[in-house]
Amino acid sequence: MDRIELKGMKFFGYHGVYAEENRLGQRFRVDLELKLDLSAAASTDDLRETVNYAELHALTKSIVEGPPFKLIEALAGHIASRVLQAYTRINEVTVRVIKPHPPFDVEFDGVAIELTRKRDEHGHVVPV
């Protein structure tokens, strides 16, 4: 299976368990890894044979900068579901959401969650 990756997308959102996170907001980073067949795109040089990553970025931005989730796990799950719903060409997506500055007094590079979802043989979105 071929792969497209969108790495290090940066957005400002209001996700978190604490009221100040919902009020003040913070930066989030998102990576997407998409698995799909790119052989037609590679041989035809036709955008219609792949997925438009500018559109994927816009979709991800609308979710991260949209209504808040308490958990970044829920945010990542919503991104995965929406990507698979919008792009039937994609067989599997891995979403990584990084919260670089969680609201507690610890010195580290942030908290990251990663989840993978794919379509089953009936077209339903399922965990991998």
d(CA 34, CA 3): 5
3-class DSSP state of 11: strand
Token readout for 19 is: 């009221």
**Long-range contacts: 39-44, Cβ < 8 Å, 24+?**
39/2
Residues catalogued as catalytic? 99
φ/ψ of 3, rounded to 5, equals: -145, 140
d(CA 53, CA 41): 14
